[in-house]
Structure formats: structure tokens, C-alpha cells
Structure 1
Amino acid sequence: MRIPDASPGAKVLAFGHYQPANIVTNDDLAKTMETNDEWIQSRVGIKERRIALEGESEVDMAVQAGGKAIAASGLAATEIDLVIVATCTPESTIPNVAGRVAHRLGIGAPGAFDVNAACAGFCYALATASAAVRGGSARNVLVVGTEKLSQWLDWTDRATAVIFADGAGAAVVGPAETPGIGPVVWGSAGDKSDAISIKDRNSFLTQEGQTVFRWATTALHPVAREACERAGVDPSELAAFVPHQANLRIIQAIARKIGADNAIVADDIVLAGNTSAASIPLALSRMIERGEVQSGELALLLGFGAGLTYAGQVIEIP
């Protein structure tokens, strides 16, 4: 038995992102529920968020982000042979999102599947893409995180409606002579699975905010440090720390504990809200676009959320 076309390494070739045009501010939310700008910013750090326009789906957003990532990679759509979409908010479970995204982007007959690890989904999908390239199962992979959380929210519930938002981020993964995506450190805390949930198809998303906050601020910094250790990288070498954009207080707490003193810490949540599986690629793509990080530098990604699931890896910035 042999493994054809295997690659010694895999790397991210490019990122792309998409945000809906509809901006919802804290003052907008204060008109429909008991809240205000100061209350929201002091608890989660959000000033505004993007919400999908009427008729705009998670597939539409994924196509926009994925198309930008492919264009930036220099590849043709026909050179992509696997599409992985991370999402926990599809409008329907069949057909999957990945196959529809691939078709609309002109990617012919790729492998196509969805991953639901909620807010950790992009890191799970990225690790799977890296393994597929290194194992010879795929040559070039499109990985997309896309979420339309707005369709699963009770817009009178300030515990959730002030936090979650819509958007998409994408990356193209291809072969490399040396690894550009480090080993993933992943896991779950199923005993806390009820902390973030949607009970059934007729229910809204609910969240036990304090449970999630305590877990995230105590359990995740060792995961981040282990991801660095497995990649052979000292946290001081990181140019960026890009955690899931869950809550600004959680982001700041984890950042203080991992020792990445030289890294820029992504704070996309302030203007984008919590976009679940889309948040990491969306935040890093925007950092690259603004010139805050440079090609060849190292970034630590750390996803965590409903499940409760978590995953982290170090990547080389394209």
C-alpha cells in the first residue's frame, strides 16, 4: 500500500472574509429590550455587530468569504478538491452547506462536508484539512466558517441577542515542504454541554453565561500553551493570538495567562460580535487586510464554545 501525492506539510495559502452590510449598534438593541451601551460593553465588550440582510443565508456568506480566499490564494476554483464548512447554524441540515458552496464557486465534484463543533469548528476543520493534505487525500482544501446566528436568537433576550452575530471567514489550505499548520490540541467537556444549547428545531439559542465564562477563563490557557509546545513555538515568538471572539473579558483573561507578550490579540468582537465558527478566520483575515500581521509570522488560534468543545493550533500567516 502507498499514499499517493502525500505532502510533508500543509499551510494556509490565503484567507478571506465577509460581513453583512447591516450594522446593529447597542443603541439599536436598547430600543427593543432592557439594555444600554454601557451595560453591554462592560460585560462582553461589544459596540456593534453585523446581522444578515433579509434573504441572506449562511451559504451566501460562505460563498463570499470562500471566493475571496480562493482569489487571494492564486488558485483556480478547479484546483480545490475538498471543501469543509464549519457551521452550527444551517437553515437546514440536508443538503449540507459545503456542497452548495462548492457548486456556487465552480468547484467541480470535490469532497464536501460540514463540521459542527460550534465556536471551535474552524479549528477542527483546519486540522482536518491539514491532515487531508499531508495524508494525500486532498491537494488543496477550502475551509469556511460561516454562521447566521441571528435566525436562532430570541431578540428580546439580552443574555444572547446582544452577543451573537452573522458572518463568514475562509482559508485555503495547500501542500508545503515544511509544516505551516501545527498539531491541533482539541477536546471537549461534555458534562457542561447544556451550558450553550438549542433544545429543538422550534427553540432559540440559550446560554449559561457565568458557566461558560468560568470554564473558558480557567480551562483554556493550558490548551493554548500546549498547542505552542506541540508546534515547537514559545509563546513569546507569536505575532498574533486569535482566539474565538466570545467575549472581550474572556479574550483578555486568556491572553494574560499564555505569556504571548509580543502578540497582537485579536479583538474583532468589539465591532463584529460573536460569530461562532466564523470568528477566528474573520478576525485574522481582517488583521491581515489591515496590515497588523505579516506573511511568515506565527499566529496561535484557539476555538472554544458549545459542546463544550475546544481546539487550538499554531499557524504560519500566509
Structure 2
Amino acid sequence: MSVRIVSTGSFLGSNVVDNKKLFSKIHNFDKERALETLKKKGNDVQNLADDELFDLWVKQVCGVSQRVFFSEDQIEDKKGPTQLTEYMGYMAAKDALSYKNIDPKTIQHVIFCSYTPIQLMPNPACLCAHYLGIENASAFHMNTACSSFLDGMGIAYMMIKSGEYDRILVISADTMSINIDFNDITTAILFGDGACAAVLERNTEKKGIYSYYSTTNYNNEMLNMDYGKPIRMSGGPLVQRNAVNAMSHSLEKACEKAKISPDQIDYLIPHQANLRIVHRLADKLNIPYERTLQSVAYTGNVSGASIGIGLDHALKGKIETLKIPKGSLLGLTTVGGGYTYSGMVCKV
């Protein structure tokens, strides 16, 4: 008996915030330092307006061109939750269920992954299960920061493998736009809002999830977030090195458990922290960029949901530069505050 990902879904709001639009919210842009950085990289910065300079600098620093911010005025489905994070998760779950015509009543368990839920009790998984029409299912909320969605799928995988469950819905959503300090430019340029979902089920075929690996390495200094306060990140270059090493380690361990080598992976699906990290990871694993997910350019870092949004878009042909054919072997890997890091090998 194996477990497969039978359907995926995602949700992004309508308020697309490109770098020039974001510039109006930033209060401490160091223009001189940006000019120096861009000139060193050979960019022509003459006659650029401040917002154009900011746009070019952000693209160079983290590879993000735009992100989406979600707000209450964008809530269109009045039959769903009214809380921002929970609503996005609900919409992504609706997308996953409808894509393969899955009856909500066949879902036996719901996992909602987030570190920015608006409501703590009832937990977001219970809330979404109610609005989705999922009956008599168990449900819980979990948080491993940006690793949450992959860890949620890993837990669902193990629950189904135990023989106790046949079909589980995993949802991941985060509203970062209300948890950003726009005076902290290191985080303000990175994050966006969004949600993803996946339905996992028992499978008699060979294809499916081959392995899952997860571990932690405690560090509260470089990346942290307290209740009611914005996310904080310090030591950027070291955080990036740690992220690359952690994701490389996780995928290598997942491959080891699957009894394959990383070079057998058809497509690399990493957490979309920033484009530099994605490229450095691909280089370290010797996987070409054209076989690597790079959706961070248009979504920003959507925390736990970033890997699921990108995967959903790639599987459905929404990314022109990355279309994943059926039967492909994927290497998923992620890292989050904690540090938490995880890897998974699966066929789709």
C-alpha cells in the first residue's frame, strides 16, 4: 500500500503588489547603498526614478518582482470563513477538491498549516472543515513555520500509511502582509499572502510518495516571531547559507530513505524563500534551473504555502517555464524558522 497526492489547489488574492507599488510603503530605503550594490553588478542606474531603482534592487537582492497582499475587501465567497488566513485556506481547499471532483464527505481528516491564523479556537482546520462541508472528520492546526505544508503532507502520509485513514486534506495558508514591519526592509521585500492545499489518499498503484524526512535545529536568534509582533530576521547571509544547507540535507536524506540519489530527481520543488537560495540549492544539488521551481518571482515568499502554490501552478501548466508531466519524480524540500527542515520524494 502506498500514498499519493491525488489533487492540489491554491489561492492568491487580487491585490498584486509589484516592487514599485511596494516602494510607497517602505520608509527606510538606503538609496546610496542600493546604487553601490547595483553598480558593482554592472547595472545601468543612470536616470532611474527612486521606485525604479528600488524595483531593480529588490530583483537583484531576492529575485521578487511582485507579491500578493490579501485583505477583507477581497473576500468574495460569502459562504466561507471571514478570517483572512482561514478564508485563503478554504479557497485553496475548494480548488483542490473541485479539481478532481472529490466529495468533501470522503475526507477523514483535515490538517491546517499556518503560523498566522486569525482565530485560535475553534482551530482553523475545524473552521475550514465546517465551511467545506466535511463531516465526521478529525482536524488539527499545526505550525512549523515555512516547513508547515510539507510537514503537514508528511504527517498525512504517515497517518494513511498506518492504515487508519484513506483520504486526508492538507491546507497551508499565511497572511504575512499584516505581520510585516515595513520599516524592516529585509523582510518587507520578501513576503506575500496566499494558500495551497493537497488531498492525499491510499493508493494501490506503485507511484506516490516514496519517502518523507524531517528534523530541527534550534535557533531563535536569526528568525523569530512573537504573538502580535512582526516577523524578524537577522544575519541575512548566514540565514541564506543555513537555508541552502538545510534543504540540501533534507532532500538528500529523503532520497536516501527512498533508495535513490538526488540526480534521479526529475524536478526540484524547493521552498520559495528567495531566488538566490533557490539557485544556490539547485547548484549544490546539480539540478538545472529549468527543472527547478522558481515561482518566488511572482508570489514572493508565501511561507509554508509557497511550495504548494508553485507545485499546483506547475502541475496545472500555469508556469510557462516549468510544466511537470505526469509520472515525474519530484524532490520537495523546505526550511522554516526554528530551524525546521523537511524533504519528500514523490511521483505525480
Pairwise TM-score range, normalised by the shorter structure: over 0.9
Note if contact 1:247-1:274 (Cα within 8 Å) is conserved in structure 2: yes
- The CA distance in 1 between the partners of 2:245 and 2:167, in whole Å, is 37
What's 2:208 paired with? Answer: 180
Q: Does 1:277 align with 2:304?
A: yes
- The CA distance in 1 between the partners of 2:199 and 2:241, in whole Å, is 34
1:72 CA drift (Å): 2.1
User: Superposed, which structure 2 residues align to 1:93-104 within 5 Å?
Assistant: 93-104=120-131
- The CA distance in 2 between the partners of 1:235 and 1:204, in whole Å, is 36
What's 2:79 paired with? Answer: none
Which secondary structure state, in structure 1, belongs to the residue aligned with residue 72 of structure 2? coil
1:199 CA drift (Å): 2.9
1:179 CA drift (Å): 5.6
What's 2:34 paired with? Answer: none
The range that moved more, 228-237 or 129-138, is 228-237
- The CA distance in 2 between the partners of 1:97 and 1:194, in whole Å, is 28
1:230 CA drift (Å): 1.4
- The CA distance in 1 between the partners of 2:334 and 2:246, in whole Å, is 12
1:41 CA drift (Å): 1.0
Note if contact 1:238-1:263 (Cα within 8 Å) is conserved in structure 2: no
The letter of the residue matching 2:115 is: C
Which secondary structure state, in structure 2, belongs to the residue aligned with residue 11 of structure 1? strand
Note if contact 1:239-1:262 (Cα within 8 Å) is conserved in structure 2: no
What's 1:3 paired with? Answer: none
Ranges in structure 2 where 5+ consecutive residues have no aligned partner: 30-53, 76-83
What's 1:312 paired with? Answer: 343
- The CA distance in 1 between the partners of 2:106 and 2:8, in whole Å, is 16
182, 192, 200: which one aligns with 1:165: 192
The letter of the residue matching 2:63 is: G
Ranges in structure 1 where 5+ consecutive residues have no aligned partner: 1-7
Percent identity, please.
Answer: 28
- The CA distance in 2 between the partners of 1:205 and 1:154, in whole Å, is 8
- The CA distance in 1 between the partners of 2:178 and 2:136, in whole Å, is 30
1:262 CA drift (Å): 8.6
- The CA distance in 2 between the partners of 1:133 and 1:63, in whole Å, is 22
297, 309, 329: which one aligns with 1:298: 329
What's 2:35 paired with? Answer: none
1:261 CA drift (Å): 4.1
The letter of the residue matching 2:217 is: A
What's 2:267 paired with? Answer: 240
1:248 CA drift (Å): 0.5
What's 1:29 paired with? Answer: 22
Structure with greater Cα Rg = 2
Change in Cα spacing, 1:211 to 1:53, as seen in structure 2 (3 Å) is same
Note if contact 1:118-1:306 (Cα within 8 Å) is conserved in structure 2: yes
Paired residue total? 308
- The CA distance in 1 between the partners of 2:207 and 2:144, in whole Å, is 24
- The CA distance in 1 between the partners of 2:222 and 2:207, in whole Å, is 36
| Cα root mean square deviation, aligned | 1.6
- The CA distance in 2 between the partners of 1:154 and 1:216, in whole Å, is 22
The letter of the residue matching 1:204 is: P
What's 1:5 paired with? Answer: none
1:305 CA drift (Å): 1.2
1:214 CA drift (Å): 2.2
Question: TM-score, normalised on structure 2?
Answer: 0.85
Note if contact 1:239-1:263 (Cα within 8 Å) is conserved in structure 2: no
1:225 CA drift (Å): 1.7
50, 56, 61: which one aligns with 1:38: 56
Q: Does 1:20 align with 2:13?
A: yes
